[in-house]
Homo-oligomer: A and B are copies of this chain.
Amino acid sequence: MTAYRPDGLASTEDYGAFLPGPRLTRSSAAEGPLAGLTFAAKDLFDVAGHVTVCGSPDWGATHAPAARSAVVIDTLLAAGATLVGKTVTDEISLGLLGRNRHYGAPVNPRAPDRYTGGSSSGSAAAVAAGLVPFALGSDTGGSMRVPASFCGLYGIRPTHGAIPVAGLMTQAPSFDTAGFFAANAEIFARVGDVLLPEAPIGEIAEIIIAEDAFAVADSVVRDGLKAAIDRVAAMVGHSRTATIAAEGLRVWNGHHCFLQHPEFAATFAPWVDAVDPRLSYDVAKTIAHARGLPEPPKRAAEAFRPLVRERLDALLEGRRILCLPTTPMTAPPRDLSLGATGEACDRIVDLTCIAGLSGLPQVSLPLGTADGLPIGLSLIGWRGSDRTLIDFARRLASMT
């Protein structure tokens, strides 16, 4: 075998963030709350008249142009924002590191020799590089939160169902959400005002620091987030620590897998059987294994999920929010072996499964660094607290 770099860049122009070829652009309203702002959209969102490629040339070749644009695209255009391109995603949304064997792994502007995180990789790269002030992404298993952490961005995985997913490629419907990155907290809040449902913004009564979530993180990550935690706790005024997963987060992660994987297996099975698409081995393997999972652990996961929801709803009742590291590590190097990338993803899901299983909103704030690399601090709020979380982030930023 000759020397080979699995994630050699397709292009260093534009940080490899955008799809190759002419940029897909759209604008509509000249005025509105987002007038003057450009944005990019992950290549999983439909734009009327164009094929949504979903990071897979064979997906693109076997799907018709979208009849209409995704609801969130139309909402942003109507608010005066201008779409300036579609961005690279992990292949058919399956990935957490920002790898894509067809279009290349976008460059992390904050650490060019490291991954951006994924699957909303190109959107994160575009915002982190300053090419656009905000960008649309999606999050099923961590795809907004991980790149927000690795690229040093504000990013949100909203309350499940709070932002419409119509026109977003389906992966695992009970987990799928549409979210957005922003370069700063002001723009984060302006976009949230447009995309999120109206809701009263209130005070946060208490910060609960998730001990078990910090315990799974690298020590440099814990150290790198200390100052930020202190700022958050000081602003709220009340804080305490708690263990979130009595069973251990690894157990929650396992249940998450046995819920998410059968869902995406069902989503992609008709396509892979009809098309026999060219996929990277890692993605094809993930689908093949997901299709063959045994029934008992699937049933166990289905029984476990409502317990997680009840427990977290009870824990956060009374306007409490959970504080945790977004990812247990900083952005991994681009030359990791496939085995090591798999292990990194497993560890990441120990943390991302909390909001995934519960459907609660999570924002990642770019308030830490570890070894000179960005690392996100996350806040998970009660169901529907999305605007409160974003407003808190804005107020926190304005105090610096």
Contacts and interface: CB of A to CB of B under 8 A. Distances in A.
Nearest to A65: B2
A296 interface: no
B281 A272 contact: yes
B276 A282 contact: yes
Number of copies: 2
A60 B6 CA distance: 14
A398 interface: no
Contact of A278 (B101, B270, B273): B101
Contacts of A63: 1-2
Given A1-B62, A4-B61, A337-B273, A288 B284 contact: yes
A272 B338 CA distance: 9
Nearest to A102: B278
Interface string A132-164: 000000000000000000000000000000000
Interface residues of A, number: 33
B276 A338 contact: yes
A309 B2 CA distance: 39
Given A62-B1, A289-B288, A280 B277 contact: yes
- 10 A-B pairs closest in CB distance: A284-B284, A285-B288, A272-B281, A288-B288, A4-B62, A273-B338, A278-B278, A2-B64, A276-B280, A281-B284
15 contacts: A1-B270, A1-B271, A1-B275, A2-B62, A2-B63, A101-B278, A276-B280, A279-B280, A279-B284, A281-B287, A284-B288, A285-B288, A288-B288, A288-B289, A289-B292
